[in-house]
Amino acid sequence: MWAINWKYRNSFAFWRSLVGKLWITIIFLVGCVLIALGLFLLPYIDTNFAESESRDIKRLFTYVCIIGFSLTTFFALFLFTKITQPMQQLIQAANSIRKGNYDTRLSLVTSDEIGELANTFNHMAAQLEDNIRNLNHEKEHLASVLRSMTDAVVTFDGEGKVILTNPPGEKIMQVWCDLDWSQADTDDTSERASASRDVPEPLIPLFKLVMEQGGDQSSNVHVQQGVWSVQMTPLYADSVIRGAVAVLRDVTEEVRLEKMRRDFVANVSHEIRTPLSMMQGYSEALLDGMAASPEESEELIQVIHDESLRMGRLVKDLLDLARMEAGHTDMAMREVDLVDVLERVYRKFSVRSKEQGISLHLDCVQSSIKLHHADEDRLEQVFTNLLDNAFRHTPTNKNVMISAKLVTDGRIPAAKISIKDEGVGIPTSDLPFIFERFYKADKARVRGESVGTGLGLAIVKNIVDAHHGTIQANSILGEGTEFMMQFPVDSPK
């Protein structure tokens, strides 16, 4: 049954081919000529020739008809071999290339037009294969470049639909699409409703600007606690904008550092200008002879001396902090008994606690807490800075507590130290920033003659980090503040 169907399909294809149609046409013409001849010649033969001669002529006429039909069939087969089969091979090759098999070639070797057509087809297929290969290489190269970029790249079409992203861009799009923008500014609700929601909410104004005005557009976009620098460029097709490409870079850290730099310059200028102004004013008073007595002169000189010491402390703290942040801090790492360090600091502040009427307590659960990789002087500096802050912010008849004990943090032994006061406390909104340089939660609550430089907690944080430790602060305004530190007992690997 399959063979019959195959033969039927082949025969049907033959009759639909050019040769089949040409053969049918020739047979039809030959048949018409023979029929016309038969209609006019046969009666003439019957009337003008004898019966035996008439039969011979009719037999000859039949042979001529058979030979004529045979010649037309042979001619049709000849044309089928020379024209139809090469054309079918050409069609099959074209269909193969259409399906993506660009290495398809024709093996026709003739000197006629079909041979030239086959050579031209092979040349075209080779050029097409080379062009497709180059396009694939360019596409792979572009994809590799996009994948290797740390910046997010997102491509939009004219309607705002996302058509291409690299991995960072895909990650950003997923995060931003999951955000709830309903709490954002919704004054332009009608315009936003008309825009495609595939464009993230922060990029809609910039996308509209690019589509309407063309040209490169850039802006900083604030999303939650992050800042993104967006550079958007239009995509053109026949001088018509068909979309836009957005390059997004996370500049949160850069903005934070720039703000920190400006604040640092302003704070340093302020901290240095104050003692310089006082020293200049009191020295001018001495030069002008405004001191009426030796006691007044001594008092002015003492103020100048105190302010010079304050400037010296500020410069020293700045140098220490700069070296720590640059990683050039000299640490004399060795085994340290933390209890001995705390007892030494406790004795140093005992006199001050009696003078200010503050009760100082030390509670060490273990009699000895060994840190195998620590700098004793730097640890003492940490505890001294924290206790100095506690005494300056704690009123009379209040308590300052120091405690230390060994704990286990995820099967890793660690030393936990707490310094707690009953002072004025720190507002909760200021707690995340207390370890920044020159940050003072409330300048009004710093009283007394000894005013800090604003660098103590920043230095404490850097020393704790250098020991691979952690520090955090808890505070209740009006009730006190507690600084909790944790250091690994064993040497870090």
Average pLDDT in the 382-393 region? 89
Give the pLDDT confidence of 151-164 residue by residue, as tens digits.
Answer: 888 888 888 888 88
Whether 431 and 475 have beta carbons less than 8 Å apart is answered as yes
Give the pLDDT confidence of 427-443 residue by residue, as tens digits.
Answer: 888 888 888 776 665 54
Separation in Å, CA 178 to CA 166, 172, 182: 18, 10, 12
CA 233, 237, 242 angle in degrees (round to 5)?
Answer: 55
Give the pLDDT confidence of 96-136 residue by residue, as tens digits.
Answer: 888 888 888 887 777 777 778 888 888 888 898 899 889 88
**Helix (H) and strand (E) counts in the chain:** 13, 12
Residue 329 in tokens:
């801090």
Question: Which residues have a Cβ under 8 Å from the Cβ of 194 and sit 6 or more positions away?
Answer: none
pLDDT-above-90 percentage for the chain: 10
Higher pLDDT, 11 or 73: 73
C-alpha to C-alpha distance for 192 and 207, rounded to whole angstroms: 12
C-alpha to C-alpha distance for 254 and 143, rounded to whole angstroms: 28
Average pLDDT in the 253-275 region? 75
C-alpha to C-alpha distance for 381 and 317, rounded to whole angstroms: 12
Residue 425 in tokens:
């406390």
- The per-residue pLDDT of the chain, averaged, comes to 79
Instruction: Supply the pLDDT for residue 487.
Output: 92
Instruction: Supply the pLDDT for residue 484.
Output: 93
C-alpha to C-alpha distance for 390 and 418, rounded to whole angstroms: 12
Q: Which of 101-105, 281-285, 393-397 has the highest mean pLDDT?
A: 393-397
C-alpha to C-alpha distance for 462 and 325, rounded to whole angstroms: 7
Separation in Å, CA 124 to CA 28, 121, 128: 40, 5, 6
